[in-house]
Amino acid sequence: MGRKYFQVVLIATFFCLLSGCQLKHWATNKFLVGPNYCRPNAPVAVDWQDSPDRRVNLSLPNHVDWWSNFNDPVLNRLVDSARQQNLTLKQTGWRIQQARDVRRIITGNLFPQIQQASGAYNRLLTSQATALPAPIKAFDDWSVGAGLAWEVDVWGRFRRSVASADADVQVAEGDYDFVQLSLIADVAETYNLYRVFEQRLEYVRQNIEIQEGLLKISNTKAEKGKTGFTAVHLGSASLEAVRSLEPLLEAGKRQTNNALCLLMGMPTQDLSQLLGDGIIPNAPAEVAVGIPADLLRRRPDIRAAERAIAAQSEQVGIALADLYPSFTITGNIGWDAEKFGDLFGSAANTGAVGPSFRWNILNYGRILANVDLQESGLQALILNYQNTVLEANREVEDSLVAFLKNQERVQHIQKSAVELKEALRLVTIRYEEGDRDYTLVYVMQRELVSVLDQLASAKGDVVESLIKLYKALGGGWEVRCPNASVRDMQVGYTDDSDTPEMMMAPSHSEAPYLSLEDLGNKDVEKTEAGLSKKTAPQEDEELKTAEAEMRQKIENRLKNTVERKDD
C-alpha cells in the first residue's frame, strides 16, 4: 500500500514539472498558484483647489451624523425613520446576507466535498436462458454504507474561492453603506427643498397681500378721476402674474412631500402635521474636508470598487489552478448481504480507500482562455476603481465650490432685496401721495417678486450644495457602526488570518409603518438592528506616513498663502 501511494505521488510530481509548475514559488506562496492581490494605485490630488479659502477646514472630517449640524430636530427624525423603513436600503441589506451565505457554501469546499450515506434493497431475478445461467433464479440484496471524496486543495483553488467570497461580502457591505449614505443625503435634500417651497410660497403670499392693497388704492384714485385706469390694469396684471406662481409652488411642495414618503418607506400621505412650520435649514459657514487621500477610506463606493478588484484577483488564481492536476482521496465503507439479519455481520463488510488524480489535458486552450478572461476582468475593475476615485474627487470639488459661491450669491441677493424693498417703499409713498405714474411701482414690484424668489432658492442652494459635499466626502455611513473611524477602514488586502470579523447580518423585521405620531413623538434608535461594529484591520503604515507628510505640506502652503494676504 505504501509503495503504491509513493508511486502515485511520484507520478503526480512528474506531471507538475511537465506543466511548468514553479514548485519553489508555489511552496513559498502558502501553496497557492496565481498572483497575490496588491491594492492598485489611484490618482489622488494633493489638495483641494479651494484649500486657501478660510471657510475650508483641512482637519480630518468627522461627519458621522452631519445632518445634525443643521440643528433641525424634524430633519433628524426623518433621517432616523428613513434608515429604519426605506425599502431600497432593506433590499441592499439582504444582499449582504446573500453574500455571506455564498461564502458559507464556498467555505464548505475546504472539507470533504462528498459525504454521503446510502442504503438500498433489491429483489433480483436472473436469466436462466443464457449459456451460463446463474445458479440462483432469484435472491434479495440488502446494502447500507457511507462514502466520502475529498479533493485536497493543493493549488489553493478553494482557499482563493473563500478569499474571493470574503471580498464579495465586503463589496456588499460597501454597497449598503453607499446606499445608506445616498439615502440620508436624499432625505436631507428633499426636506430642504420642502422648506424652500414653503419660503417661496410665503414670499409670494406676502407680495400678493401688498399688491392687493396697492390695487385698491389705484381703483380709488381712478374712480375719483385723479389718475387713469392704466394703473389699475397694470396692477391687476401684476397681481394675477404673482398669483399664478402660487399653484405652481404648491404643486412642487406636494410632490416633495410625496418624495419624502417614498424615502421613508410609507404610503403617500400628508406630512404637514409631522413637518410643521419651519425655515430653510441654516448651513454652517465653514466645513471640514480633510485632504483628498482621505476619500480612499471614507467613500464606501471607493472601498467597494477596491474590494471588487480583490475578489477578481482571486478568480485569476482559481483559473490558473485548473492548469494543474487535482488530487482526491476517496473512501467508502458498507455492508452487503442477502438477508437483512446478516447485514451487519463481519462477513457482510465492504470498503475501499485510495487516492486519485484528474488532469484536464487537450482542452484546446479553454483553460488559458479562461485565465485571460479573468485577467481582462481584473484590468477592467482596476480602471473602474481609478475612475471612481477621480469621480469622487470631482464631486467634492464641484460641491465645495458650489457651497462657497452660493454663500457669496446669497449675500449679494440679500443686499439687492434690501435695496429693492427700500426703493419700492419710497415709490409707493410717492404714488399714495398723488404721483400719477404707476409704472415705476409696477416695475419695482415685479423685480422684488423675482429677487425674493431667487433669495429663497439661493438659500436652499447653499444647503443643498453642503449636503452634496457631505455626501461626496463619504459622511453618514458610519451610523451603521458608530464606533468605527476613517482610520479603521480597510483599503488593502489581508489574508484569512487578518480578515476583520464579519458583521452580523442586518435584521429587517416586518414591522408596520410608523405612524405620524410615532415619527413626531419618539426618537428612532440610531444604530441599525443586528449590525455590529467592524473590527479595525491593520493600518497601512506607509500610507499613513505619506498622508501625514501631504497634510503638513498643505498646511505649510496655506500658512504661507495667508501670510502673503496679510502682508
Q: What is the pLDDT of residue 436?
A: 62
Of residues 257 and 424, which shows the higher confidence score? 257
Q: Mean pLDDT over all residues of the chain? A: 80
The SS3 of residue 537 is coil
Q: For residue 229, tell me if it sits in a domain.
A: yes
Q: Please give the residue range of the domain that contains residue 31.
A: 27-110+153-324+359-473
pTM of the model: 0.77
Q: What is the pLDDT of residue 146?
A: 92
The count of domains in the chain is 1
The SS3 of residue 121 is strand
92-129 pLDDT per residue, tens: 999 999 999 999 999 998 888 889 999 998 988 887 77
Tell me: pLDDT of 261 over 90: yes
With beta carbons less than 8 A apart as the criterion, state whether 275 and 382 touch: no
Q: What is the pLDDT of residue 360?
A: 87
d(C-alpha 231, C-alpha 437), whole Å: 8
Other CB atoms within 10 A of residue 448 CB? 20
Q: Which three cell numbers stand for residue 369?
A: 482562455
Q: What is the mean pLDDT of residues 231-239?
A: 83
Q: Which H/E stretch holds residue 2?
A: helix 2-18
Q: For residue 390, tell me if it sits in a domain.
A: yes
Q: Which H/E stretch holds residue 117?
A: strand 114-125
Q: Which H/E stretch holds residue 328?
A: strand 326-337
**Kind of pairing, strands 287-288 and 56-57?**
parallel
Q: For residue 1, tell me if it sits in a domain.
A: no
Q: For residue 169, tell me if it sits in a domain.
A: yes
Q: For residue 499, tell me if it sits in a domain.
A: no
Of residues 561 and 91, which shows the higher confidence score? 91
d(C-alpha 231, C-alpha 219), whole Å: 8
Q: For residue 371, tell me if it sits in a domain.
A: yes
Q: 527 pLDDT band (50/70/90 cuts)?
A: very low
Q: What is the pLDDT of residue 409?
A: 93
Of residues 132 and 70, which shows the higher confidence score? 70
Tell me: pLDDT of 502 over 80: no
Query: Roughly what angle, to the nearest 10 degrees, separates helices 230-243 and 439-472?
Result: 20
User: Which range is least confidently modeled, 17-26, 178-187, 320-329, 384-393?
Assistant: 17-26
Residues 6+ apart with CB under 8 A from 115: 146, 148
Of residues 562 and 432, which shows the higher confidence score? 432
472-481 pLDDT per residue, tens: 988 766 666 5
Tell me: pLDDT of 305 over 90: yes
6-43 pLDDT per residue, tens: 555 555 555 555 445 456 677 777 888 888 898 888 88
Of residues 544 and 474, which shows the higher confidence score? 474
Q: Specify the residue for cell string 463589496.
A: 171
Q: What is the pLDDT of residue 377?
A: 95
Q: For residue 7, tell me if it sits in a domain.
A: no
d(C-alpha 563, C-alpha 548), whole Å: 23
CATH of the domain at 319: 1.20.1600.10
Highest mean pLDDT among 64-78, 185-199, 409-423: 185-199
d(C-alpha 249, C-alpha 204), whole Å: 9
Of residues 229 and 83, which shows the higher confidence score? 83
Q: What is the pLDDT of residue 8?
A: 53
Q: What is the mean pLDDT of residues 510-532?
A: 37
Q: What is the mean pLDDT of residues 379-388?
A: 94
| Closest by CA position to 499, among listed 214, 159, 232, 178 | 159
Tell me: pLDDT of 133 over 90: no
Q: For residue 377, tell me if it sits in a domain.
A: yes
Q: What is the pLDDT of residue 310?
A: 94
The SS3 of residue 53 is coil
